[in-house]
Amino acid sequence: MTVLDRAKLATIGALAITKENVEKWIDELIRRGEIEQSQRGAAIKEALEKAEQEVKRAASSAKKTVGEKLRSLAEEGLDGTFVRQAEFDALLRRVEDLEAKLTRN
């Protein structure tokens, strides 16, 4: 799972929490008489849409930042290819196997 995938999952969780918080906030505004009960659904929908727009903006910004960092690393001499953990682990096992063969001989 990539960093962006984990960020998306975290965002989904954050939106669920946000929905609960928005509902509580709107209910408090209704209790204080600042909005009418009949406006509850529309107010919740509007607040959640704004939150979703903000999440999308933040995700876009994060994606841009990651892209810029990768370009910066490439300019510093890295060619943009990175070893995945599974690939590294496989190479480590191969090295360990070779070491074991050498010590037996």
Sorting pLDDT into bands at 50, 70 and 90, what band is 90? very high
- In this predicted structure, the answer to whether residue 63 has a pLDDT above a threshold of 90 is no
Structural domain boundaries in the chain? 3-104
Of all residues in the chain, the percent with pLDDT exceeding 70 is 74
pLDDT digits (tens, 9 = 90+) for 18-55: 788 889 989 998 999 999 999 999 999 988 888 888 77
DSSP string, 17-64: HHHHHHHHHHHHHHHTTSS-GGGHHHHHHHHHHHHHHHHHHHHHHHHH
pLDDT recorded at residue 41: 94
Q: What is the DSSP letter of 37?
A: G
Under 8 Å between Cβ of 73 and 80: yes
Sorting pLDDT into bands at 50, 70 and 90, what band is 5? low
Of all residues in the chain, the percent with pLDDT exceeding 90 is 23
